[in-house]
Every structure is written in structure tokens, then in C-alpha cells.
Amino acid sequence: MAISTALWSFALVVGLLTLTPGLDTALILRTSALGRRHRAWGVVLGIQTGTLLWGALTSLGVTALLTASHVAYETVRWAGAAYLVWMGARMLRDTFRGTRAAGSADLDLGTGADTVGDGWRQGTLTNLLNPKMGAFYVAVLPQFVPAGTNHFAMGLLLTTVHILIGLVWSAVLIACARVLRGWLSKPRARRILDRVTGTVVAAFGVKLALGD
């Protein structure tokens, strides 16, 4: 397989994966729609940082050890599931409590500041606590590494393709989320958004715990 063919083929696979609505989409849309644009880009950069780390570790063969070790994989899986369920449950609880303005609670339950750093930490942690990302890279990435190439360098190149696609799609999501800002000026609308997002996040945690 030629390098150019491998890159285009991998781009098609991860492009379809990126376009599929999921946890990353929910996090980016929710953060951006609430007017926290800097934080939203921080979430995007954090997610892509996690992707880069998974790609680099896969290229080094480290994540193969994770997927081969049942105990290690289960530990990461349960930690990730607990984190997501906790985030989702706290979001849902805050929308019903009325002790804070709806929409003020952030997924990481921090101060809610519109900073790139806070968003980056949230995005990175969410991505790295998803062992299925590692499993995906272990199963898919080696198939697109042409024979005779440097596995680490080619793995990073393929991962870079995934990151670039993710950045482009995230920019589209953030731009689209601006349309919702007028609607989200209403407290009821913010509660609805947080309940939907909290449910999605918790559901992903439950799914991860069940191993589906």
C-alpha cells in the first residue's frame, strides 16, 4: 500500500467516525452554545491532545499491552465510566436544584470560566478515560501502515490526519452552535440543553460500563 493511498483510506475511515454524533460532539456543542467559545476550543484541543497520545502510544505498541491486559483495560474502562456518569448526573441534578442559574454548571464542575486551559483539561481527561479510543487505534491504525515504513513516524502521520479532520469538524460545530445562543438566553432553554447533554454523557458512561 502506498503512503498516499494509506492516508486517503485512513482519512475516509476516521472522517466517518468523526462525523458520527457522540460524546465529543455533545461536549463541544454544549460548551460553545453557552457562549464559552474559548472554553469550547479548549475542549477541542484537549480531545485532539488525547487523540495524539492514543496514536503515539499505539505506534509505540503501548496500547496493545493495555488491550491485552484484562485488568488494565477494565480499570481504565470503569474509571472512564464512573467519570462520565458522575459528570452527567451532576449536570442533571443542577438543572433541577435551582440553587444555581441553569447553564452555569460545567461538565467538569469547575468555576465555569471561559478559558482555554479549563476546556483543555476537560477534553483531554474525557478522551484519555475512554479505553475504546485505544482499542480502536490498536485495531485500525496498523492496517494503514504500509510495509517498509517507519511504524512510529507513519502512525503519527496517520494520527495527524485524524486530528486535522477533527479540528475542521469542530470548527463547523462551534460555528453552528452560535446560532443557538439567542435561544439559550432563556433559562428554560439552558435547562433543556443541560438535561439533554447530561443524559447523553451519563448514557455514554453506562454504555462504557456495560462494555457495549
Give the separation between CA 50 and CA 120, rounded to whole angstroms: 10
Q: Are 127 and 133 in contact (CB under 8 A)?
A: yes
For 43-70, write each residue's pLDDT tens digit: 999 999 999 999 998 888 876 666 677 7
Residue ranges covered by each domain of the chain: 3-76+117-188
pLDDT recorded at residue 197: 74
For 180-189, write each residue's pLDDT tens digit: 776 666 777 7
150: DSSP letter: -
- HSE of 163 in the Cβ direction (CA atoms, 13 Å)? 19
SS3 110: coil
Sign of torsion, CA 183 188 193 194?
positive
Cell of 113: 470560566
For 128-140, write each residue's pLDDT tens digit: 887 778 778 877 8
Mean pLDDT of the chain, nearest integer: 80
Low-confidence ranges of the chain (pLDDT < 70): 1, 63-67, 72-73, 80, 98-113, 182-185, 208, 211-212
Maximum alpha-carbon separation in the chain: 61
Main-chain dihedrals φ then ψ at residue 61, nearest 5 degrees: 90, 5
Give the separation between CA 165 and CA 20, rounded to whole angstroms: 13
pLDDT recorded at residue 184: 60
